Structure 1
Amino acid sequence: MAKISEDIYLERIPPGMYNELIHELNKNSSWQILACHVAEQFGYQWNSWLKSLEQNSNATKTPADILLFELNVKMCTVGILCTLLRDCELGNVLSVLHYPEPSVIIKHPSDDLEHDTLEISLGQHLCLSCKATGIPSPSYQWYHNNIELPRQQSCELDIVINSCDQAGEYNCKISQVTNNGEVVISILLTKSVFVNLSRVPVVIQQQPPAFLELKEGEDFIIKCIAQGHPEPHYQWFRDNIKLEGETSNVLHIKQFSFKHEGKYHCYINNDVNEVITQRSHIMLDLPREKAIAKIALIIANDDYENHMCLETPKNDAAKIGILLKEIDFKIICLVNLSLEQMKNAIRKFGDILKEGVYGLFYYAGHGFKMQESYMLAVDAPESYLRKDAICESELLAILLQNDPALLVTILDMCQTIPPKESNPNIHNEIPKVKEYKSRKNLRNLVQAYSTSSYRPSYERTNSKYGLYAMHLSKYISKNIPVAKVFEEVGKSIDRLLKGTERNQIPMFALTITKPFRLTDAIYKRDPSPTLDHLNKLIAFSIKTIEINFKQASISAMVVISLFMEPYLNVIKISVCNLEDLEVNFFNFVATKQNNLFQTAGSKQECWIHNPQMCQGPLVISVSKNGIQIGATLLHIKNYIPLILEHISN
């Protein structure tokens, strides 16, 4: 019932009540809701109607004032306004003119459901709604298991069920208070909806860390997070031995010591399934080693003269070289070497590996196993013997001669036996035994292989990288012990390979006695003469020089750069500023066919493999409309890394 006569016009409403009515209409822009409804009743364009109300307002007249004035002009009575406000569900505004009416629930959350129980999976939305009427307008607050849900204060509930804790009872409390909030008119509680979670397998959302190093006496905590329904159960293990009492998702060890070192994992299960977390290698943080220098020799052979060419070694070696550069290794990276060039490169590398130096040798290409592992150069004959390859003991004999602090050798190649039907002579060959030794000891040596003895290594069709290098690249630059690098590579490959590829089984052997890491720091002191010499040998920077074609009175700029980082023995020559002319490149003296290449699509660029082998300068000629108009000589040997002269002597 209205507080005043419903027949009086709006202008006759008592001033105090009128001002309160204006106040409530302006609050939360309620006047806009009423204005839109009025526009609909009178067939107005609601947007222009709202704009006119706002434009006519000023410091003393609000949009609500203008709206009531317009309604009064249209002979609107209190009763009509009450009807309009009720239609708009503006109960708080209506309460200024009307005595309170207790709330009535007209829709419970369960009314849309066949039963009062819902089954929902993790990740799904829970959507519920209810409705109540009353004057003033009722307010809503949703509850879960009698606990208030924050920020859920509308008549609709929409939340994501992402935890088993969200199962249970949901309902809504509907409260009705006066506009000033001082008097409670009514409090109602809707019927409840009970949410059950569907059975969900355990899924690990957060793994424990793969590696963790701790100082002696420190406390440490590792944890995992998993979801599933019913609620997952946890059990921690160290080195596959159950840790009694450790049945939460958090493992807390106090005062860490060497006896706590090991590989930790958590077994998690519910009624649906069971899972195991990744193993977390917890280690004692020992004093770190330092190197005088860190140097790597990287050789990739893929363009064989008498054997099947390979697809990935060039990319594999480049990837490993770039990663080693990132952890401060000096890189000697070479591609497609002959047997003599490989031997020279290894000898030069061995001369540099002095005491205190970390050395790393990586080879990718063809190889075989005949008691020892052998690497094949690109000029290996079709029917080769052991003497046509480099054996591992020969490699170690050279690289260990000066007692490097750490030596890592990585042979990314097949370890299969040459077939008798295509290479019978090698099976009758009497091998020469190469003894490798150092002046002090053979400790701190790591020998890693992409596959085990007498097993193949695989390339994947249309894959940029070989299987072993793909996984080695994940770990070789990580700040973990060097032994851990190759352990993780093996596990990573084992998880991935299926079918025939499982015949490739990486392995490694080591004699490590110190906590070496490939990321160890380098002493900050002046380099020795040997290391200073190395820097000069591998130094290379892009060079730009001017050349002149005197016959044609033309000059141009030539840019000399590496064709593919980080390889030092493939040089690119680009001629600039001759867009209207055809440029060709020739060897001054005829040399091997695969030495000089000119890309068909680029008339002003070539690249040279092993430029130190060129007998004489490079000839650059220019033509116009097919007629040669000039030529000049470029002494390319003046611009190549010095190391190339050493590997070809």
Structure 2
Amino acid sequence: MAESLERSAKLNSLKEPALKKLCDVLDRTPGKGWRRLGEIVAEERRFKIGPDDMEMCSLKVLQPDGSPSRMLLRLMGERGCTCGHLMDYLHMLGNTEALHCLKAPVLQIIIQPQSVSLLCGHNLRLSCHAVGQSPVQYQWFKSKEEVPNGSCPELAISGIHVKDGGFYICRVNCGDTFQFSQWAQVDVLDVSTSCGGFLPNPGQNIQSLAGRLKVAVQPRPQQLLVGATLQLEGGVVGRPIPRYQWHRDGAPVPDATRRKLTIPNATQDHQGRYRCEIISGGERTWTNEVEVVIAPRTLVQISGAMECSEDDVYAIGGGSTDFLLNSIPEQLYATDKVALLIGNLSYQNHPQLKAPMVDVYDLTNVLRQLDFKVVSLLDLTESEMRNAVHQFLLLLHKGVYGLLYYAGHGYENYGNSFMVPVDAPNPYRSANCLCVQSILMLMQEKETGLNVFLLDMCRKRNFHDDSTHNVILRVTANIVFGYATCQDAEAFELSSSSFTNGVFVKFLKKRLLDDEKITVVLDRVAEDMGQFDATRGKQALEIRSSLSERRALTDPVLPGPTDLLHSQQWAKAHELPESMYLDFECGAQIKLGFAAEFSNVLVMYTHIVRKPPDLLLCQAHVTDFPQELDVDPKEMNKTTPEDTGVYLLSSSLPQHCLYTRLCSLQKLKEELVFNVCLRGATAAMDADDSVCWTESVDIGKPLIARLDLHQATRPNSCLLTCPVPHSPNRNPVARHQHQHPHLDHPPGQDHSRLAPQHRRPDIYEHEQMGACGSSIPIEASDDIDELQTAFINSLQLRHP
């Protein structure tokens, strides 16, 4: 172990390349991975790794780049574990590949570039030196752009400008190995903003300033009106880059730790005497103290009429100063963010849809960027929809942001909207559907910080349903409705051979990340849809809101008291099983991996990683799934993801595997147990002979199966959201009819829009995709500028 790292070195001192490689090995090695390592460490009790710690590590898989192994190693390092201890544990684990990661690296950076603060016109020098087993090459980058002529260990820029400020990094290459240095921030001070202070000569090198902390940029006094932006700036030059803390009237200003202090929409509470504490390299200094005066915008009495004063004039003397025009709300936040997305497309007794699958997939990705805990589900029956909403309601507490999105068939009667499950009979009535207003009434009772209900469905009248609901919503100030279409109108999806969004989500997904009040975001979506020629005059977004605060989906999350048990269950509803390696008696080894397309759609892929040399034929496939999943053997073990129906994930799945798509995981009643079969043949066998080996695999309840949505509708659940006297517990009509009977329409209805059988016969047919290994694009050639009037005729009803 001479080439290994020092045994006494702290575990947290592991370099990032070695740490990443080690975590990758432990994350993907079942039986000898991070979970077993944690159990070994816990048995010794030296570093106090307990069940809560293991649960914390397990939940890391929910994050886009989360690693349970990295979390475990960090906890061990914080509790005193050394590299020597880790080596001993890996020996006990028997993971030689992980031990190899602790060998001395082929390439090592010994001098890292250091952050620096300097003035315009001065010279910048950043250094990065590395040693390797072969010649070393360098390339500097500013953010993601290569620095011209930056191929030396020393990066020198003469006469630096403000535009040269930013973050720099160096890539070091050694043969086939490379490493990146740490990031170095370059802060360039503009002397034109200075108001006194120490100004070095322009030609002076920054190193000569070490040990002499001098303020180069001083803040200036300010006189502002309420609502204006307060800006103060101070700065010193030196290395390492200084740390800043602004103070007002002798007390630190919260979160004011940058060189520039900016307070938008300043109020009179922000006035006072400001100065900045600056610390660099063990030295401490202060800027000058300056006074900030913030005067109110007032109304001045002139000849008996009230008139506003000009922005640049202070009200002095006889003006009335007790009326403040501008008031600044405090920062709003959510105690948690949870979302339930339901897309129904494979209807048993009604026309099939395509866009809900793409819409739910895209919205899931966007909402997770906004820190929402998202569960995305396809094709739910009435009971499953009720139970899913019931589980969603359990997560709502005071201050939580709750978002529910539904795409599928729907209708509206007497002001109440209804979502249609995939097993609804033909014709359907309210007893077979979920009432939107009743669900919202239950959401209101939770005192959530924000309730957002997005409905992507038709709102035409259902003449087969003569029941009347009287759901009265109490007055609250946190409700936002987004209807994809107006009352008594349809919602559309484009007829296309590829997979595209519905009209609503096509524009919604481009706006959701905007840091604006949610009603402002929806207003912009409505404007975008209004400019879309294909649906102009046919579909328009309708927004209803009682939101009195500037609540935005981008608001930060400050956790409050929640039901931890249900929150963890919701998080585990999209927790994937770990990849595993199966060893067969013949010496072959098969890797079994998993991916989640939705919270109830699991993709399996198998790959032979080791093939015995004496086997001429070696094939592996999965089989014998539980009956409730209703998996068609003809659609299993395909050579491309697209052949199994996996279009949205195809580009991110590993290649050269066999793929199987498991839908409707919500129907799974027990652990998911199946067989992996290996078929092989040797040269001594006849051409038609082969030998089969079988391994049984149990992966527990994956994804949404953990929530047991298959159970009968629970007491006090979402069943109460359809409070009609004849509402049954179960759909009284058989749920396995696959024909599409013609609807009987009353006189006067527009059959060309409501009856799909009267339009092009192929409009709802699923068109075959070309056999290729690339990802099917979510958006085809349907950009706004390209979809002109000619596309209007290609529209189909999204949710008739």
| 1:408-440 per-position Cα deviation (integer Å, ceiling 9, x unaligned) | 10001111234x6xxxxx24x434x363657xx
Unmatched runs of 5 consecutive residues or more in structure 1: 1-213, 221-253, 262-282, 421-425
Matches within 5 A, 1:387-536: 387-418=431-462, 426-427=464-465, 429-431=466-468, 433=469, 435=471, 437=473, 441-462=475-496, 464-498=500-534, 501-523=536-558, 529=564, 532-534=567-569, 536=571
CA distance in structure 1 between the partners assigned to 2:340 and 2:225 by the alignment: 35
Please report how far the alpha carbon of residue 333 of structure 1 lies from its aligned counterpart in structure 2 after TM superposition: 1.4
2:661 is equivalent to residue 607 of structure 1? yes
Q: Which has the larger radius of gyration?
A: 1
Task: Report if aligned partners of 2:569, 2:707 keep a CA contact under 8 Å in 1.
Answer: no
Please report how far the alpha carbon of residue 544 of structure 1 lies from its aligned counterpart in structure 2 after TM superposition: 1.2
- Letter paired with 1:623: R
Q: 1:588 to 1:571 in 2, by over 3 A?
A: closer
CA distance in structure 2 between the partners assigned to 1:532 and 1:369 by the alignment: 33
> Which residue of 2 is the match for residue 376 of structure 1?
420
> Which residue of 2 is the match for residue 337 of structure 1?
380
- Letter paired with 1:395: I
- Letter paired with 1:390: L
Q: 1:488 to 1:375 in 2, by over 3 A?
A: same
Cα RMSD over matched residues?
3.4
Please report how far the alpha carbon of residue 360 of structure 1 lies from its aligned counterpart in structure 2 after TM superposition: 0.7
CA distance in structure 2 between the partners assigned to 1:260 and 1:390 by the alignment: 53
Task: Report if aligned partners of 1:366, 1:413 keep a CA contact under 8 Å in 2.
Answer: yes
SS of aligned partner of 1:309: coil
- Letter paired with 1:573: M
Task: Report if aligned partners of 1:296, 1:360 keep a CA contact under 8 Å in 2.
Answer: yes
SS of aligned partner of 1:396: helix
- Letter paired with 1:568: S
Task: Report if aligned partners of 2:334, 2:559 keep a CA contact under 8 Å in 1.
Answer: no
Please report how far the alpha carbon of residue 571 of structure 1 lies from its aligned counterpart in structure 2 after TM superposition: 0.9
CA distance in structure 2 between the partners assigned to 1:406 and 1:400 by the alignment: 9
Task: Report if aligned partners of 2:420, 2:433 keep a CA contact under 8 Å in 1.
Answer: yes
Bigger mean CA deviation after superposition, 570-579 or 358-367: 570-579
Choose which of 623, 636, 640 in structure 1 pairs with 2:679. Answer: 623
2:228 is equivalent to residue 218 of structure 1? yes
CA distance in structure 1 between the partners assigned to 2:494 and 2:637 by the alignment: 27
Which structure has greater strand proportion?
1
Please report how far the alpha carbon of residue 545 of structure 1 lies from its aligned counterpart in structure 2 after TM superposition: 1.6
Task: Report if aligned partners of 1:584, 1:604 keep a CA contact under 8 Å in 2.
Answer: yes
Matches within 5 A, 1:584-595: 584-591=621-628, 593=630
Q: Which runs of 4+ in 1 moved over 6 A?
A: 254-261
- Letter paired with 2:628: T
Please report how far the alpha carbon of residue 646 of structure 1 lies from its aligned counterpart in structure 2 after TM superposition: 4.5
SS of aligned partner of 1:322: helix
Task: Report if aligned partners of 1:342, 1:647 keep a CA contact under 8 Å in 2.
Answer: no
Task: Report if aligned partners of 2:622, 2:637 keep a CA contact under 8 Å in 1.
Answer: no
SS of aligned partner of 2:513: coil
CA distance in structure 1 between the partners assigned to 2:360 and 2:428 by the alignment: 25
SS of aligned partner of 2:509: helix
SS of aligned partner of 1:483: helix
2:726 is equivalent to residue 632 of structure 1? no
Please report how far the alpha carbon of residue 517 of structure 1 lies from its aligned counterpart in structure 2 after TM superposition: 1.1
| 1:489-529 per-position Cα deviation (integer Å, ceiling 9, x unaligned) | 1111101234x652112101111121211111111568652
- Letter paired with 2:521: V
| 1:242-301 per-position Cα deviation (integer Å, ceiling 9, x unaligned) | xxxxxxxxxxxx99899999xxxxxxxxxxxxxxxxxxxxx9864331111111111111
SS of aligned partner of 1:591: helix
SS of aligned partner of 2:440: helix
CA distance in structure 1 between the partners assigned to 2:711 and 2:540 by the alignment: 35
How does the TM-score come out when normalised to structure 2? 0.42
SS of aligned partner of 1:493: helix
Choose which of 562, 566, 570 in structure 1 pairs with 2:601. Answer: 570
Q: 1:546 to 1:577 in 2, by over 3 A?
A: same
2:582 is equivalent to residue 547 of structure 1? yes
> Which residue of 1 is the match for residue 636 of structure 2?
598
- Letter paired with 2:592: V
Task: Report if aligned partners of 2:629, 2:662 keep a CA contact under 8 Å in 1.
Answer: no
- Letter paired with 1:636: I
| 1:622-646 per-position Cα deviation (integer Å, ceiling 9, x unaligned) | 3347756122322233444564424
2:592 is equivalent to residue 558 of structure 1? yes
CA distance in structure 2 between the partners assigned to 1:356 and 1:329 by the alignment: 14
Matches within 5 A, 1:257-336: 286-336=329-379
Task: Report if aligned partners of 1:547, 1:557 keep a CA contact under 8 Å in 2.
Answer: yes
SS of aligned partner of 2:628: coil
- Letter paired with 1:586: T
Please report how far the alpha carbon of residue 592 of structure 1 lies from its aligned counterpart in structure 2 after TM superposition: 5.2
| 1:79-126 per-position Cα deviation (integer Å, ceiling 9, x unaligned) | xxxxxxxxxxxxxxxxxxxxxxxxxxxxxxxxxxxxxxxxxxxxxxxx
Q: 1:344 to 1:533 in 2, by over 3 A?
A: same
SS of aligned partner of 1:459: strand
Please report how far the alpha carbon of residue 482 of structure 1 lies from its aligned counterpart in structure 2 after TM superposition: 1.3
Q: 1:362 to 1:557 in 2, by over 3 A?
A: same
Please report how far the alpha carbon of residue 366 of structure 1 lies from its aligned counterpart in structure 2 after TM superposition: 1.5
Q: 1:455 to 1:526 in 2, by over 3 A?
A: closer
Q: 1:345 to 1:528 in 2, by over 3 A?
A: closer
Q: Specify which structure has the bigger relative contact order, considering alpha-carbon pairs within 8 angstroms and separated by 6 or more residues.
A: 2
Q: 1:524 to 1:357 in 2, by over 3 A?
A: closer
- Letter paired with 1:582: Q
Please report how far the alpha carbon of residue 534 of structure 1 lies from its aligned counterpart in structure 2 after TM superposition: 4.6
CA distance in structure 2 between the partners assigned to 1:619 and 1:504 by the alignment: 49
Percent same amino acid at aligned positions?
20
How does the TM-score come out when normalised to structure 1? 0.51
Task: Report if aligned partners of 1:455, 1:504 keep a CA contact under 8 Å in 2.
Answer: yes
Q: 1:574 to 1:345 in 2, by over 3 A?
A: same
Unmatched runs of 5 consecutive residues or more in structure 2: 1-223, 231-294, 300-305, 309-325, 612-616, 641-656, 682-687, 713-800
CA distance in structure 2 between the partners assigned to 1:403 and 1:525 by the alignment: 13
Task: Report if aligned partners of 2:572, 2:703 keep a CA contact under 8 Å in 1.
Answer: no
CA distance in structure 2 between the partners assigned to 1:633 and 1:260 by the alignment: 82
- Letter paired with 2:659: E
CA distance in structure 2 between the partners assigned to 1:537 and 1:436 by the alignment: 35
CA distance in structure 2 between the partners assigned to 1:321 and 1:311 by the alignment: 17
CA distance in structure 1 between the partners assigned to 2:307 and 2:353 by the alignment: 46
Q: 1:403 to 1:600 in 2, by over 3 A?
A: same
Please report how far the alpha carbon of residue 216 of structure 1 lies from its aligned counterpart in structure 2 after TM superposition: 4.1
2:403 is equivalent to residue 360 of structure 1? yes
CA distance in structure 2 between the partners assigned to 1:640 and 1:496 by the alignment: 38
- Letter paired with 2:694: A
Q: 1:544 to 1:530 in 2, by over 3 A?
A: closer
- Letter paired with 2:458: C
- Letter paired with 2:639: G
SS of aligned partner of 1:290: coil
Please report how far the alpha carbon of residue 585 of structure 1 lies from its aligned counterpart in structure 2 after TM superposition: 3.1
